[in-house]
Structure 1
Amino acid sequence: MPQQESELFSGNDADTTALLTSQSETDSGHVRSYVTSKTDRQFKFEDRTTSDDVVYDIHTASGSHVVVKSGEIPVDVVGATTTNTECLMHLLKGNTGVGILALPVAYKNGGLWLSLGVVTLIGIICTHCMHILVLSGNELRKRTKSQHLDYASVMETAFKTRKDWLRNWSRFARRMVNIFLVTTQLGFCCTYTVFIAENVRQVVQYAAPILLDTKLYIVMVTAMLVPYSMVKSLKILAPFSAIANVLNLFGFILVFVNLWQDLPDTRTRPSVAKAGDIPLFFGQVLFAFEGIGLVLPLYKKMKEQDAFLGKAGVLNLGLTIVIALDNAVGFYGYLKYGNETKGSITLNLPNDQWLYLSVKLIFASSVFLTYGIQFYVPIEIIWHFVDKKRKIGSTSIPAYTEYFIRLFLVLLICGLSTLVPHLDLLIALIGACESSFIALILPAVIELITFDCSKTVYMKNGFIIILGLVGCVTGTYSSIVEIYKTF
């Protein structure tokens, strides 16, 4: 696919870089490149630290996305200011959300002991893919002398710095990643809407004898989300995310208080579930490990970057805690509720005790407050695309156009949520269809394109890609079949 020069790097300062000219094989099976005096291609990049615009990192379930906003926060946040502890907290926050609350139903679809092993294995593979992304990003930053590359930029630069025909696909690669990010975030917003509606419905049914369909609650939740989704300032949205984190902490404490009471014997639960439910299990587990896009900006913001990677680094420590939490919620949730396990563990909590009804409201409020941050990512990418086309065509767009786009997306999310008002199936579909690419397939592809890999690395990445593709196809098919049965 021939293309013109990509706009990945823009600005006034030009730097040149050379591609592979002399090589040596590393312990990881990569062939390290060294820069020579001859140049292969010229790249331009913007030095954001000297710009009037400032960088604002927003952390979402599909990662951390760098957005440029003028005058919203002090310029000194652009530098590396994150301590190891703060980085660990961000990493934990980005990997614990609605997905972890759905892991008991994933255990139900996988079986008690099989799920324990597979969740751990998938967590280890996802952690390895995060390492791949950081290492590839570091190599590509050296080649292009760039300060920072996000997920889409790493994919594009990996293709662009090739000497063969693959470089012609760099712009397509970037757009593909952005499409996955947009659709993933919109999918998360759908799960958020259904999650809020289901939990509020249970509370209302206990407080008053009102029996309404979940779809009506989705519509009412959407009506409340419309004005919230019109907020364009990250400065206004950021405090809501902080409040949501506090609510999550209290919510998880009360969830474990319930799960650890009156546990049955493990022999009462099947070790391995039916084979037909395994694809659903795969998608639901992957949904819970959707923080891979978070690692690049966190690594960039760290004061001690050497502490991020390594066997005892921040990344391994954070993901070890995440895997342990995921397994704890999934294992004890399924062990306690068995075949009665629902799409979120909050939906299994007692409906006749205000202590546990408050947990439903706590998580519903937390998810509602986080919706604005999740929604910010797709609207930012879409609006950037629209604005770019406007500039190329030299056409004028009314100032209120963005508000119409925001309203359209919220209504689209509402429509999709009412179409599939089943949290467990929605999570399985998004996890299989989207997360398999974001968390597994694309990082493996990036490593193969960035480095001249050994046969061992080719086999390893081939396994990851095949695992992702098989999980994507079977999980998506099984989810669609189960969704079709609900109509």
Structure 2
Amino acid sequence: MKMNGDPVEKAEKDYNPFEHRKVEKPNSDARALANVLKASLGSGLLAMPVAFANAGWSVGIVGTIIIAFICGHCVHIFVDTSRSCCKAERKPLLNYAETCRAAFANGPKSVRRYAKAASVIAELSLFFSYMGVCCIFTVLIAENFKQLFDTYYPVVTLSVQYYCLILLVPMSILTQIRHLKWLAPFSFLANVLLVLTFAICLFYIFKDPISIEGVRAVGHVSRFPAFLSTVIFAIEGIGVVMPVENAMKKPEHFLGCPSVLVIAVGIIIVLYTTLGLFGYFRYGDSVMATITLNLPVNEWPAICAKVFIALSIFLTYPLHFFVVVDIFTKYVNPHVKKQYMDIAQICMRICIVWFCGAVAIALPMMEQIINFVGALFYSSLGLIIPAIVDTVYRWPDLGKYQYILWKNCLIMLFGFICLVSGCAVTIGDIIQNLREQSTV
């Protein structure tokens, strides 16, 4: 594909996609960093202590750092492949699914016929991944508010499902925002609230002397897949990466060193390992799906943390929702007349929000949903697909001793192990929980 004199190689040399991008409301580097961080921070960060409880603290530290580097590398190779595909097809930008299609379309002749299938699989992975995230966010916000209302307004005790139902109204309003630039202030505020929540959690963690008695350095091997699923879910934000990179004023600043991606991965590693390690030290095996639920309900700092994280996730919801609605818009808009476009967008966004709410109401098991989404969808989206796409596009030149092929094969193997083992453990946990609920 990329031999000397090849048309694709010539196109890559002659065409600079950055010079042809016309973004209506471009984001600065700081706003792009805020969106990338918010895509990877949130409910996943607060679930890190339970991840460490599954793996043990020593395995948790090493595993989190390794997984963060692998996920960051997968984002890097996918964005780099996307830029190469833009040059090959002389297009200013490509989204996630379009990159998968273009990589196959410009790859070896034997795989070009699978270009459309690659695009469909990528879109399905994106769709189900971020639908799952929206369901998780709904349950997380509902559980934090339920805990507070049950304590301070016990006159009426509602189930988590009712709180999920109530949340659908403000969520339907917030998701009517249609430009990433307008979401940046919400992402910034959500980041501030998340940092404050993080600080309050650390305050309670270090409030009294920490004892490591009873905590395990290495967890039971049967729970390690749950650790992998939680960390992958927590760290992965690749579905938001392409919209963010495509909307940057200076997209060349996204990769490299230092860059938006490198800074984001560094911050993520520090925050995740810190809260995961010391949160597990403080609460041990009694740590809950999100650490804010372990905080007391009768002290103002803890109350603020519960409110802050609920608001932070609420403000983050439209950023993840953006990926879902983008896929819907692609298939719906061609069938809608121009004069009805706005009303179609409004109705479509409301329907998606309520569908996610219905799933959350039907299955309000946050830890299990996190593990399932991380294992099944994020392993595919953030590990397996980027490795396959990079391999296909670079097939004519895989480096000395074909190190790119071997490296990507290891990433794919790791992704498949996470997918199969994580799904198996999570399904077992869900069945066990349902049995326990049926006997109560």
Q: TM-score, normalised by structure 2?
A: 0.86
The aligned counterpart of 1:260 is 206
The answer to whether the aligner puts 1:342 opposite 2:288 as a matched pair is yes
SS in 2 for 1:406: helix
C-alpha separation in 2, matches of 1:34 and 1:231: 40
Query: Does the CA contact (< 8 Å) of 1:287 and 1:427 recur in 2?
Result: yes
Q: Distance in 2 between matches of 1:82 and 1:402?
A: 27
Cα 1:298/1:144, change in 2 over 3 Å: same
Contact conserved, 2:126 with 2:239, CA < 8 A, in 1? no
Partner of 1:115: 60
Q: Is the 8 A contact 1:182 1:377 kept in 2?
A: yes
Match of 2:410 in 1: 463
- Equivalent in 241, 249, 255 of residue 308 of structure 1: 255
Partner of 2:373: 430
Conserved? CA contact 1:379–1:406, under 8 Å: yes
Match of 2:329 in 1: 383
Cα separation, partners in 2 of 1:406 and 1:139, compared to 1, 3 Å: closer
* Secondary structure, aligned partner of 1:357: helix
1:480 shift after superposition: 1.7
Question: Counterparts of 1:357 and 1:208 in 2: how far apart (Å)?
Answer: 14
User: Could you say which residue in structure 1 is the equivalent of 2:438?
Assistant: none
Unaligned runs of 5+ in 1: 1-18, 25-32, 38-43, 56-72
**Which structure has more strand as a fraction of its residues?**
1
Task: For 1:102, give the aligned amino acid.
Answer: A
2:2 counterpart of 1:20: yes
**Shift of residue 431 of structure 1?**
0.5
Contact 1:420 1:483 in 2 (8 A): no
* Separation in 1, partners of 2:326, 2:226: 31
Preserved contact between residue 38 and residue 316 of structure 2 (Cα < 8 Å): no
Greater Cα offset, 150-159 or 212-221: 212-221
SS of the residue aligned with 2:283? helix
3-state SS in 1 of match to 2:315: helix
For residues 151-162 of structure 1, the aligned pairs below 5 Å read 151-162=96-107
Judge which range, 370-379 or 341-350, deviates more: 370-379
Identical-residue share of aligned pairs (%): 28
How far does residue 421 in structure 1 lie from its aligned partner after superposition? 1.1
CA contact (8 A) 2:211 2:282 kept: no
Which of these residues, 131, 138, 151, is aligned with residue 76 of structure 2? 131
The separation in 2 between residues aligned to 1:227 and 1:303, in whole angstroms, is 31
- The Cα shift of 1:402 comes to 4.3
1:158/1:353 CA distance change after superposition, 3 Å: same
How far residue 264 of structure 1 moved from its aligned partner, in angstroms, is 2.6
Indicate the structure with greater helix content.
Answer: 2
2:253 and 2:175 map into 1 onto residues whose CA distance is: 38
Alpha-carbon separation, structure 1, partners of 2:365 and 2:28 = 39
The equivalent position to 1:405 in structure 2, one of 348, 360, 369, is 348
TM-score (norm 1): 0.79
- Could you tell me which amino acid in structure 1 is paired with residue 2 of structure 2? L
CA distance 1:279–1:263, change in 2 (3 Å) = farther
Q: Contact conserved, 1:140 with 1:154, CA < 8 A, in 2?
A: yes
Output the amino acid matched with 1:450. Answer: Y
The answer on whether the counterparts of 2:42 and 2:312 sit within 8 Å (CA) in structure 1 is no
Alpha-carbon spacing, 1:307–1:359, altered in 2? closer, same or farther (3 Å): closer
- Residues 135, 307 of structure 1: alpha-carbon distance in 2 compared, 3 angstrom cutoff: closer
The correspondence of residues 37-116 of structure 1 with structure 2, limited to 5 A, is 49=22, 54-55=23-24, 73=25, 77=26, 82-83=28-29, 87-116=32-61
CA deviation string 1:413-467 (max 9, x = no partner): 1221122212111111111111101111111111111113143222211111011
- Report the more deviating stretch, 271-280 or 330-339: 271-280
Query: SS where residue 477 of structure 1 aligns?
Result: helix
Q: In the alignment, which residue of structure 2 is the partner of 1:58?
A: none
Report the more deviating stretch, 178-187 or 296-305: 296-305
Q: Which has the higher contact order (CA 8 A, sep 6+)?
A: 2
Structure 2, unmatched stretches of 5+, are 435-440
Does residue 421 of structure 2 align to residue 474 of structure 1? yes
Question: Which runs of structure 2 are paired with 1:243-282 in the superposition (5 Å)?
Answer: 243-282=189-228
Within 2, Cα distance between the matches of 1:406 and 1:88? 26
Count the aligned residue pairs.
Answer: 423
Q: Give the drift of 1:484.
A: 1.9
* CA RMSD, 1 decimal: 3.0
Aligned residue identity for 1:342: M
Q: Is 2:36–2:264's contact at 8 Å kept on the other side of the alignment?
A: yes
- Any idea what the Cα deviations from partners look like across 1:331-376, whole Å, max 9, x if unmatched? 1111100111001111111111122111101111121222233323
Residues 250-287 of structure 1 deviation map (CA, whole Å, 9 limit, x = unaligned): 22222221222224333430112222211111110101
For 2:81 and 2:189, locate their aligned partners in 1 and report how far apart those are by CA, in whole Å.
35
Q: How do 1:434-453 residues align onto structure 2 when only pairs under 5 Å count? A: 434-452=377-395, 453=398
Quote how far apart the aligned CAs of 1:163 are: 4.2
